[in-house]
Amino acid sequence: MDNDKHMLNNEMQLSFRAISANESFARTVAAAFVTGLNPTISEIMEIKTAVSEAVTNAIIHGYENKGLDEFVHLNCRLNGRELYIEVVDNGIGIQDIAQAMEPLYTSKPEQERSGMGFAVMENFMDYIHVTSAPGQGTTVVMMKKLPE
């Protein structure tokens, strides 16, 4: 019982190089973090997809694909059955957050980016908040409730 209680008030932090090979690593870690709560396959896929979007944004946009010596931080916290995920980069930041979050908006159409990253995060998670300013990096906070 005590172990279960601790599991519901758990926290992890991960820092990894801002390279695309780590996208899969990051989303797998986030999914593994909540395994003890017996999430559904659907919930796991939603978490993996949302993390993948946020981490990809950090690598492509935050660090403009030049993040070999830069790091992305993934912080996960469980507050009961609420999962909080924070994806942080120290990259170039976002000038206009509302525009960046608009469906289909992308600053990188030549790379065949769809501009749907934030729309997917909003759809798959219960809450999302973006903090950013030019030169100040970007922090994406997402929350998802995992019902019993």
Partner 1 sequence: MEIIFSERDRYLIAAPVGEIDHHTSLGIRQKIEKAFARSKARNLIFDFSRVEFMDSSGIGILIGRYRELSKLGGKVYAINISGEIGRIFGVSGLARIIPCYASVEDVLQNAEGQ
Q: In terms of C-beta distances under 8 Å and separation of at least 24 residues, what long-range contacts does 64-67 make, across chains too?
A: 64/91, 64/92, 67/17, 67/18, 67/19, 67/91
Beta carbon of residue 18, minimum distance to partner 1 (angstroms, whole number): 12
Query: Quick check: 89 binds partner 1 (CB under 8 A)?
Result: no
What's the half-sphere exposure (Cβ side, CA atoms, 13 Å) at 102?
Answer: 10
* Stretch of 41-49, 82-90, 92-100, 133-141 lying at the interface with partner 1 (CB under 8 A): 41-49
* Minimum gap (Å) between residue 52 Cβ and partner 1: 4
Please, which residues bridge with residue 139 across strands?
Answer: 88, 131
DSSP 78-113: EETTEEEEEEEE-SS--S-HHHHHSTT--S-GGGT-
Catalytic annotation present for 77: no
Reply yes or no on whether 57 is catalytic. yes
23 in contact with partner 1 (CB under 8 A): yes
How many chain residues bind partner 1 (CB under 8 A)? 27
Q: Give the sign of the dihedral formed by CA 27, CA 8, CA 118, CA 45.
A: positive
Using the contact rule CB under 8 A, the part of the chain among 6-14, 44-52, 78-86, 130-138 near partner 1 is 44-52
Binding partner 1 by CB under 8 A: which of 6, 123, 127, 133? 123
Is 33 an interacting residue with respect to partner 1 (CB under 8 A)?
no
Please give the torsion angle defined by the CA atoms of residues 56, 59, 64 and 67, in that order, rounded to the nearest 10 degrees. -160
Q: Tell me which residues touch partner 1 (CB under 8 A).
A: 20-21, 23-24, 27, 41-42, 45-46, 48-49, 52-53, 56, 59-60, 103, 111-114, 116-117, 119-120, 123-124
User: Which active-site residues does the annotation give?
Assistant: 53, 57, 113
